[in-house]
Chain A
Amino acid sequence: MAQIPNLDNSPLNLAALREQSQKDLLNIVKSIRGKKCLVIDPKLAGTLSLILQTSVLKEYGVELRILSADPLLTECPKIIYLVRSQPNFMKFVASQIKSDESKGLQREYFLYFVPRRTVCCEKILEEEKVHQKLTLGEYPLYLVPLDEDVLSFDLEYCLQECLVEGDTSSIWHIAKAIHKLEFAFGVIPNVRAKGVASTKAAELLNHMQLEDPVSMDDMGIPEIDTLILLDREVDMVTPMCSQLTYEGLVDEMLQIHNGSVEVDASIMGGQQDGKKVKVPLNSSDKLYKEIRDLNFDVVGKVLRQKATSIQQDYAEVKSTNTQSVSELKDFVKRLHSLPEIARHINLAQHLQSFVAKPSFHARVEIEQLILDVQNYETCFEYIEEIIQKQEPIETVLRLLVLFSLTNAGLQKKSFDYLRREILHSYGFEYMPLLHNLEKAGLVKKQEARSNWVGITRALQLIVDVNDMENPSDISYIFAGYAPLSIRLVQHAVRSGWRSIEELLKLLPGPHLDLKRGVSTMNSSLEVLPGSMAQQQSAERADRRSLVLVVFIGGVTSAEIAALRFLSAQEGMGYDFLIATTKVITGNTLLQPIIASSKEGMM
């Protein structure tokens, strides 16, 4: 199965990380004798497919089931539940056990929490009176490699929990995950954080180092030099913009799950109608690696070039009969890439059908206007129009959030007017949603003058792109807008926070610059100004240093593309490794908030 990404080219030994997770899981399975049935929660099933193939489990005599509210149908005498620590899953487990009892079935039950047990979940099990029948354990799966340079904490609801519900347990999870990484790869000497959650995670990380120190003696030089933690809240603007890279568009239009996308077979040139096929998308596919981060306008051209060059080769082979065997071998090798080319041509064609619509262009143009903070009226009218046309609520909210963010809120009159229009067009059930968005600071009333213009100037966020094919700056990603989050990372690796301290104060949340290291051995940390970091990077000019960038609350493919672009630049002595709670788009960022706001009313 090609869905498991090849990690050989990773800047860090992520393969080892994955093997460890594999081993842990198999140990759990092996520790229980006889025939057993492994019951996994639906979300986790997708995640596990990034770690190992299901066939491996079958070798150990395991039957696989997906957890649901229905009774479990299996003959196995032993049941292993492997579930995320979420209250609703506990209820499912309890109801399955009870239904077995009512049928008089005697079974042994094991429950493994992923990644750790929580008091809340155990309480539920006690209340349901199934606590005694279960053998409890933990499966410490904190980080899953999505690709050779992307890791996922797999915390889908992190942003919503932090912003709307004020639940910060995911921050602990993140700190723990990084701490676990440090056990494998050494203590990270430089830590920079921006945002409430990030600074908290950095502090927790230090705390964990004190309680359970990673010994620094038996490690060589730490493999990761710098850790940059960023809250999504710091830059909510970027995810609201339509992504224009190939991968970004695939995610926006078709949704990528766990590194693969599901599309109709007919799109991929298959015969059967209505059948879905899974197309894996990761860097193991060399062609995809080449084009995933390009602006979509350029992708078509690249694909055409590839196809024609093969065609030429083919013509050559046919015309000249005097081919040596080695030349033929070369040709055949190139033919092997044909299926990949065909796959991406099909996908790109499908995307083209969305992108070519005038409505798509209109939206991208409006986004640019909003980012420029020009023509308040035009933008306002456009948003008014799409509300009245009852376009998907996500589309409306993305623009509305963007509009509100760059203007530091809407003028009271238009704020109330648009809110009323939304309630009228989509129904009054959306009241709690509007309330939650206001609470999260995403759509609000104007209270102060906007500092967005100042931020864009200082960080040069709006840049004209002249050459789409050979861009010189990350602004190519959004056709003229350089993502704020990535500009911050750029500054952070170059000179630390100090040079942009004034600017950071304009963005939400505190910032933190920590230096941890060999000199202070196990004892506490020292808060040092960022100048130390400059020296450090000068000392290590001879080797490419590795920067771990953690996005708390999710990151978009476009931003990942921007980081890859940066590390590929000449004179940039850094490799980036990205860790995120989830790879998101504007839609998938808003959807959980929308859903939970609705749920609250049921």
Chain B
Amino acid sequence: LLLKESRELEKIPVASKGSPLHGPQVRLVEQAHRLFAETKEHIFESKSAEEHAKLLRVQHQLEVSTKQAIFVGSSVSDTIKTCIAMGNERAAVKVKSEFKVPDKRWYWLKSCALATVGNWDALETF
């Protein structure tokens, strides 16, 4: 019975995550987070869903402030890259600290993003 229950738990987020509508998507992911938290074996899944919801909110805010619909649906790394490429370093640092991005990845992403937009001066002073 427990097994069956966990099966059902798995299905819900699987079915919901790809939902294209933005608002309900956050809610569904949060629901998934709660459902995963009910069992002990799914701590990792629960945390990930929580982070996913957080990411969606941050991305939504970014889209509102930049007025460009390019954030939702991309990964944490891509979000940071886009921020830096747009010259919005502060937002990038905020994402970094919120999602506890390791330094190694952070520097890689930063140099990558600066190089793609050809911001060589910033790359040198970094």
**Is there contact, CB below 8 Å, between A388 and B108?**
yes
| B77, B78, B109 pick with most chain A CB within 10 angstroms | B77
A164 to chain B, nearest CB (A): 12
**Is there contact, CB below 8 Å, between B77 and A425?**
yes
**Is there contact, CB below 8 Å, between B10 and A602?**
no
Q: How far is the CA of A421 from the CA of B75 in the complex (A)?
A: 10
Q: Knowing A424-B99, A427-B73 are in contact, say whether A432-B14 is a contact too (CB < 8 A).
A: yes
B27 to chain A, nearest CB (A): 15
User: Among the listed B10, B48, B105, B109, which residue makes an inter-chain contact with A423, where contact means beta carbons less than 8 Å apart?
Assistant: B48
| B17, B78, B101, B108 pick with most chain A CB within 10 angstroms | B17
Residues of B bordering A, CB below 8 Å: 10, 13-18, 29, 44-45, 48-49, 51-52, 55, 73-78, 99, 101-102, 104-105, 108-109
A247 to chain B, nearest CB (A): 35
A390 within 8 A of B: yes
Residues in A neighbouring B101, C-beta threshold 8 A? 424
Residues in A neighbouring B108, C-beta threshold 8 A? 388-389
Residues in B neighbouring A416, C-beta threshold 8 A? 44
- Contacts A428-B51, A600-B15 aside, 19 further interface pairs with beta carbons under 8 A come to A385-B104, A388-B104, A388-B108, A416-B44, A419-B48, A420-B48, A421-B102, A423-B48, A423-B75, A423-B76, A426-B75, A427-B73, A427-B75, A427-B78, A431-B48, A431-B49, A432-B13, A601-B18, A602-B18
A422 to chain B, nearest CB (A): 9
Residues in A neighbouring B18, C-beta threshold 8 A? 429, 601-602
Residues of A bordering B, CB below 8 Å: 384-385, 388-390, 416, 419-421, 423-429, 431-432, 435, 600-602
12 A–B contacts, CB within 8 A, in A order: A388-B77, A388-B104, A423-B48, A424-B76, A424-B101, A428-B17, A428-B49, A428-B51, A429-B17, A431-B17, A435-B45, A601-B16
Across chains A and B, the number of contacting residue pairs, with CB separation under 8 Å, is 65
**Is there contact, CB below 8 Å, between A427 and B15?**
no
Residues in B neighbouring A432, C-beta threshold 8 A? 13-14, 17
Q: How far is the CA of A435 from the CA of B6 in the complex (A)?
A: 13
A472 to chain B, nearest CB (A): 44
Q: How far is the CA of A308 from the CA of B10 in the complex (A)?
A: 63
Name which residue of chain A comes closest to B101, CB basis: A424
**Is there contact, CB below 8 Å, between A425 and B44?**
no
Q: Knowing A424-B101, A431-B45 are in contact, say whether A601-B15 is a contact too (CB < 8 A).
A: yes
A550 to chain B, nearest CB (A): 32
Residues in B neighbouring A602, C-beta threshold 8 A? 18
Name which residue of chain A comes closest to B17, CB basis: A601
B2 to chain A, nearest CB (A): 16
Name which residue of chain B comes closest to A416, CB basis: B44
Q: Knowing A388-B104, A388-B108 are in contact, say whether A428-B10 is a contact too (CB < 8 A).
A: no
Residues in A neighbouring B76, C-beta threshold 8 A? 423-425
Q: How far is the CA of A435 from the CA of B11 in the complex (A)?
A: 11
Q: How far is the CA of A601 from the CA of B13 in the complex (A)?
A: 8
**Is there contact, CB below 8 Å, between B75 and A424?**
yes
User: Among the listed B10, B29, B73, B78, which residue makes an inter-chain contact with A435, where contact means beta carbons less than 8 Å apart?
Assistant: B10
Q: How far is the CA of A36 from the CA of B13 in the complex (A)?
A: 47
**Is there contact, CB below 8 Å, between B55 and A428?**
yes
Q: Knowing A431-B48, A601-B14, A601-B18 are in contact, say whether A425-B104 is a contact too (CB < 8 A).
A: no
Q: Knowing A388-B104, A389-B108, A601-B18 are in contact, say whether A427-B74 is a contact too (CB < 8 A).
A: yes
Residues in A neighbouring B75, C-beta threshold 8 A? 423-428
Q: How far is the CA of A423 from the CA of B99 in the complex (A)?
A: 11
Q: How far is the CA of A421 from the CA of B14 in the complex (A)?
A: 20
**Is there contact, CB below 8 Å, between A600 and B55?**
no
Name which residue of chain B comes closest to A429, CB basis: B17
Name which residue of chain A comes closest to B10, CB basis: A435
Name which residue of chain A comes closest to B11, CB basis: A600
Q: How far is the CA of A427 from the CA of B29 in the complex (A)?
A: 14
Name which residue of chain A comes closest to B74, CB basis: A427
Q: How far is the CA of A390 from the CA of B16 in the complex (A)?
A: 25
Name which residue of chain A comes closest to B20, CB basis: A602
**Is there contact, CB below 8 Å, between A390 and B77?**
yes
Q: How far is the CA of A384 from the CA of B102 in the complex (A)?
A: 11
Name which residue of chain A comes closest to B78, CB basis: A427
**Is there contact, CB below 8 Å, between B99 and A428?**
no
**Is there contact, CB below 8 Å, between B13 and A424?**
no
Residues in A neighbouring B74, C-beta threshold 8 A? 427
Residues in A neighbouring B44, C-beta threshold 8 A? 416, 419
B84 to chain A, nearest CB (A): 14
Q: How far is the CA of A424 from the CA of B79 in the complex (A)?
A: 10
Residues in B neighbouring A423, C-beta threshold 8 A? 48, 51-52, 75-76
B40 to chain A, nearest CB (A): 14
Q: How far is the CA of A155 from the CA of B73 in the complex (A)?
A: 34
Q: How far is the CA of A384 from the CA of B105 in the complex (A)?
A: 9
Name which residue of chain A comes closest to B18, CB basis: A601
A-B residue pairs, 8 tightest by C-beta: A601-B18, A427-B75, A424-B76, A428-B52, A388-B105, A425-B77, A602-B18, A601-B17
B11 to chain A, nearest CB (A): 9
User: Among the listed B45, B73, B104, which residue makes an inter-chain contact with A384, where contact means beta carbons less than 8 Å apart?
Assistant: B104
Name which residue of chain B comes closest to A427, CB basis: B75
B39 to chain A, nearest CB (A): 14
**Is there contact, CB below 8 Å, between B48 and A428?**
yes
Residues in B neighbouring A421, C-beta threshold 8 A? 102, 105
Residues in A neighbouring B16, C-beta threshold 8 A? 601
**Is there contact, CB below 8 Å, between A600 and B14?**
yes
Residues in A neighbouring B109, C-beta threshold 8 A? 388
Residues in B neighbouring A601, C-beta threshold 8 A? 14-18
Q: How far is the CA of A397 from the CA of B18 in the complex (A)?
A: 22
Q: How far is the CA of A298 from the CA of B14 in the complex (A)?
A: 48
Residues in B neighbouring A435, C-beta threshold 8 A? 10, 45
A416 to chain B, nearest CB (A): 6
Q: How far is the CA of A544 from the CA of B49 in the complex (A)?
A: 60
**Is there contact, CB below 8 Å, between B73 and A431?**
no
A131 to chain B, nearest CB (A): 30
Q: How far is the CA of A432 from the CA of B74 in the complex (A)?
A: 16
Q: How far is the CA of A389 from the CA of B106 in the complex (A)?
A: 10
Residues in B neighbouring A426, C-beta threshold 8 A? 75
B38 to chain A, nearest CB (A): 17
